[in-house]
Amino acid sequence: MSYLMGIDIGTTGAKTLIIDEKGAVAASSNFEYPLQSPAPGWAEQDPAQWWDAVKSGIPAALTAAGLRGDQVAALGLSGQMHGSVFLDQADQVIRPCILWCDQRTGEQCHWITDTVGKDLLTQETCNACLTGFTAGKIIWLRQNEPANYARVRKILLPKDYIRLRLTGEYATEVSDASGTCLLNVPQRRWSDKVLAALQLDQSLLPAVFESPVVSGRISASAAEVTGLKAGTPVVGGGGDQAAGGVGTGIVRSGLVSSSTGTSGVVFAFLDKPTFDPQLRTHTFCHAVPGKWQVMGAALSAGGSLRWFRDAFAAPEKEIAAQMRIDPYDLLTQEAAQAQPGCEGLIFLPYLTGERTPHADPSARGVFFGISLRHQKRHFIRAVMEGAAFGMKDSFDILQEMGVPIQQVRATGGGARSALWRQIQADVTGLPHHTINVEEGPAYGVALLAAVGAGVFSSVEEACDATISLRSRTDPIPDNVALYRECHRIFRQLYRNLKATFAETAQLVARRP
């Protein structure tokens, strides 16, 4: 039997997953690395640490599965989107990678929009130019670090830097390239018009492939350090959201995933490249050849609960360690003791700014409505509800766009919590299903590798053969009505605070 490997270069660590031809997980490994924030709103990583994690992760997964490298038929790559790896003529990294959550490029994004023209930019890329996207990072480097920019000979996305280290090839694929704001999304190729307007030479960018297509093969040097067989095919893969879409079977019209991880992502399949006229969501190429996706992203969903855990839940963490359980289990048990709506306590989960629907890097987290009656359980539940309210904004936009929502699949760490699934079902008014796999993007690119290796004839066939529904959480009508009112207040709070968020950001920026 042949095996397939998927590697996901996440924000906190690199996951290596091995599955068999039937989609069963054989083994996985995960190696973490740090994130640096050298200035307020900045986020960077050293790409060498990704490579170190991959070099450790591949042998660890092979060992855990009891496999030899030559039993892996193909490999797929996924990773955090939008990051900018700047390479010199010798393929050496010039500076740390600027990550998706970095917010330094506001001025550059405005300049790009004005320079290209909003209408042309939208026509070509189907998106607004946002601070997270790669184009702004390139212009920021040109304007702020001209000596570094002068050395740049190639610009790669995070997973594609790992592809270079594995294969020696400069390559990307359509789903990840969509998040650069440099791709003609309807035509699935680099945009000559946008590049010309920005005076960027296309030679700086890698070749673009469809996601299941072989884009390189494991080199002899990479084989030596990873244990894989030289010549093993590496497919295009996908940006983490498109790969996660494949890994949850969102490959047909009417299917939507609701992923509660660090961010909260609502992801829907599109047969045609349709975009929100107000550009509150993102329309990208899907990892399914010839298809597209639309997604909304709340930047801090599970990340908000993690923040609360680390800042305020030291007792729960200590007890959980003694009981050898996850501290989140204790937190959700406490939250379950609070009533829906938390007696008027509402949380805005904008800890790192917000993307959908506000595209506001200055937005910040807020607890509103605190009274003497509120205890820790209310605050925990309010965080969970606030994340769900933020994600409901994306569901509402999809419905405005006419995107069919016939089935919602709950994924990510939040989907493991029955309470959080119920909250999300109640907030959206839509049943939430779980599926038989929870491996996310790494599983999706392993399936893409299976297609590239000929195990399946299409991405749809691969998903049909390996992914099935496991459970269903139906909304509770009384809670749906209550949360509808809570969400209205949630939306009004942002509108009331928007100007104050901007003033506060300016104040913080003036402090040394």
- Structure token pair of residue 205: 């960018």
Instruction: Return the pLDDT at 335.
Output: 98
User: What is the residue type of 129?
Assistant: C
| Partners of residue 3 on adjacent β-strands | 20, 72
Mean pLDDT estimate for the chain: 96
Q: Summarize pLDDT for 449-501 with one digit per residue, the tens.
A: 999 999 999 999 999 999 999 999 999 999 999 999 999 999 999 999 999 99
Rounded to 5°, angle at Cα 379 from 480 and 386 = 45
d(CA 199, CA 213): 30
- Pairing, β 13-20 against β 25-32: antiparallel
Enzyme catalytic residues: 240
pLDDT bucket at 182, cuts 50 / 70 / 90: very high
Please answer whether residues 48 and 209 qualify as being in contact, where contact means their C-beta atoms are separated by less than 8 angstroms: no
Model confidence at 3: pLDDT above 70: yes
Q: Summarize pLDDT for 170-181 with one digit per residue, the tens.
A: 999 999 999 999
- Structure token pair of residue 499: 């100007």
pLDDT bucket at 231, cuts 50 / 70 / 90: very high
Model confidence at 41: pLDDT above 90: no
Instruction: Return the pLDDT at 440.
Output: 87
| Partners of residue 432 on adjacent β-strands | 408, 473
pLDDT bucket at 59, cuts 50 / 70 / 90: very high
d(CA 241, CA 259): 9
Give the phi and the psi of residue 221 in degrees, each rounded to 5: -70, -40
pLDDT, average across residues 402-422: 95
SS3 for 298?
strand
Quickly name the fold that domain 302-434+476-507 has: Nucleotidyltransferase; domain 5 (3.30.420)
d(CA 53, CA 35): 14
- Pairing, β 432-435 against β 469-473: antiparallel
**Residue bearing the bigger pLDDT, 254 or 361:** 254
DSSP 8-state symbol, 11: S
The percentage of the chain sitting over the pLDDT mark of 90, rounded to a whole number, equals: 93
d(CA 270, CA 495): 31
Instruction: Return the pLDDT at 103.
Output: 85
User: What is the residue type of 141?
Assistant: L
- What is the DSSP secondary-structure string of 148-198? HHHH--EEE-HHHHHHHHHHS--EEEHHHHGGGT-EETTTTEE-HHHHHHH
pLDDT bucket at 293, cuts 50 / 70 / 90: very high
User: What is the residue type of 40?
Assistant: P
Please answer whether residues 449 and 235 qualify as being in contact, where contact means their C-beta atoms are separated by less than 8 angstroms: yes
pLDDT, average across residues 92-121: 96
Model confidence at 508: pLDDT above 90: no
pLDDT, average across residues 331-349: 98
Instruction: Return the pLDDT at 101.
Output: 85
List where CATH 3.30.420.40 sits in the chain: 3-248, 302-434+476-507
pLDDT bucket at 512, cuts 50 / 70 / 90: low
User: What is the residue type of 211?
Assistant: S
- Pairing, β 154-156 against β 85-87: antiparallel
In CATH, the number for domain 3-248 is: 3.30.420.40
pLDDT, average across residues 16-21: 97
Q: Summarize pLDDT for 254-292 with one digit per residue, the tens.
A: 999 999 988 899 999 999 999 999 999 999 999 999 999
Buried b (16+ CB within 10 A) or exposed e, 460-478: bebbeebbeeeeebebeee
